[in-house]
């Protein structure tokens, strides 16, 4: 297992007013709306999620970095757990022609409004019960997803990712290294159920036998 960061540069592009997040609209109502993962979360008001999530090529650099790091080739199989609208998977197919991709997400809206070119390779489902055979994929990804699960589903999801991956795995989750980052994360997040420090995430990885790579997003 190694710490490998593919995502932080995207995270750092967003300007965040943490106090406004909790003062301008009741946080509990915003979280309740966001956790439906429907149109409001993806393409509605910024108070409830992305504030509009459309393809703009931002994931191509991540796709290229994944290709280089994991030496992806035509014919390899990649699964994205929590794929959303499938933008990363689409960019992976552009970075690695002939790559076989699959995605799964809990949001029906996201799957139905995914990148048309790969929509037939995405499906509705949960990370806690992946509908794939053992050792099905050369690379399993899960970016900005697992922290949305409660502990019992998190445990199952980590075990499932390990089960279906025959090769590399990469997970990115939100975390905190200080009290300030913990408070910022709590203020900003709308859907997190598992808010853990890095050493706590390491405990979860060891508990579930997760053997892949990982990185953290911090709210500085």
> Over pLDDT 70: what percentage of the chain?
100
pLDDT at 20: 87
Instruction: Examine residue 184 and state whether it is found in any structural domain, yes or no.
Output: yes
Give the CATH number of the domain where residue 88 resides.
Answer: 3.40.50.150
**Has residue 2 been placed in a domain?**
no
The pLDDT, as a whole number, for residue 1 is 81
pLDDT digits (tens, 9 = 90+) for 128-166: 999 999 999 999 999 999 999 999 999 999 999 999 999
Under the banding of pLDDT at 50, 70 and 90, the label for residue 212 is: very high
* Per-residue 3-state assignment (H helix, E strand, C coil) for the chain: CCECCCCHHHHCCCCCCHHHHHHCCCHHHHHHHHCCCCHHHHHCCHHHCCCCCCCCCCCHHHHHHHHHHHCCCCCCEEEEECCCCCHHHHHHHHHCCCCEEEEEECCHHHHHCCCHHHHHHEEECCCCCCCCCCCCEEEEEEECCHHHCCHHHHHHHHHHHHHHEEEEEEEEEEECCCHHHHHHHHHHCCCCCCCCCHHHHHHHHHHHCCCCEEEEEECC
Tell me the residue range of the domain where 176 lies.
8-218
Per residue in 159-192, pLDDT tens?
Answer: 999 999 999 999 999 999 999 999 999 999 999 9
| 13 has pLDDT over 80 | no
Q: Say whether pLDDT at 64 is over 90.
A: yes
**Total structural domains in the chain?**
1
Would residue 1 count as lying in a domain?
A: no
31 within some domain? yes
135 occurs within a structural domain? yes
Asked if the structure places residue 181 within a domain, the reply is yes
For 19-30, the pLDDT digits (tens) are 889 888 999 999
pLDDT band at 11 (very low <50, low <70, confident <90, very high): confident
Instruction: Kindly report the pTM of this predicted structure.
Output: 0.96
pLDDT at 9 over 90: no
Residue 115 reports pLDDT greater than 90:
yes
Q: What was the pLDDT predicted at 217?
A: 96
């Amino acid at each position: 297992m190694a710490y490998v960061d593919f995502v932080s540069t995207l995270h750092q592009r967003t300007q965040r007013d943490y106090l406004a997040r909790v003062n301008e609209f009741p946080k509990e109502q915003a979280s309740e709306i966001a956790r439906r993962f429907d149109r409001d979360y993806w393409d509605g008001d910024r108070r409830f999620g992305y504030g509009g999530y459309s393809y703009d090529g931002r994931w191509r650099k991540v796709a290229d970095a994944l290709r280089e790091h994991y030496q992806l080739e035509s014919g390899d199989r990649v699964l994205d757990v929590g794929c959303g609208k499938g933008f990363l998977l689409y960019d992976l197919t552009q970075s690695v022609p002939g790559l076989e991709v699959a995605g799964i997400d809990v949001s029906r809206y996201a799957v139905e409004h995914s990148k048309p070119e790969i929509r037939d390779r995405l499906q509705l489902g949960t990370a806690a019960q992946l509908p794939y055979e053992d050792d099905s994929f050369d690379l399993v990804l899960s970016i900005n997803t697992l922290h949305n699960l409660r502990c019992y589903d998190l445990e199952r999801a980590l075990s499932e990712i390990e089960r279906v991956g025959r090769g590399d795995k990469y997970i990115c989750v939100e975390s905190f290294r200080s009290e300030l980052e913990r408070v910022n994360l709590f203020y900003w997040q709308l859907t997190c159920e598992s808010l853990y420090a890095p050493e706590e995430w390491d405990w979860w990885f060891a508990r579930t036998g997760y053997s892949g790579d990982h990185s953290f997003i911090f709210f500085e």
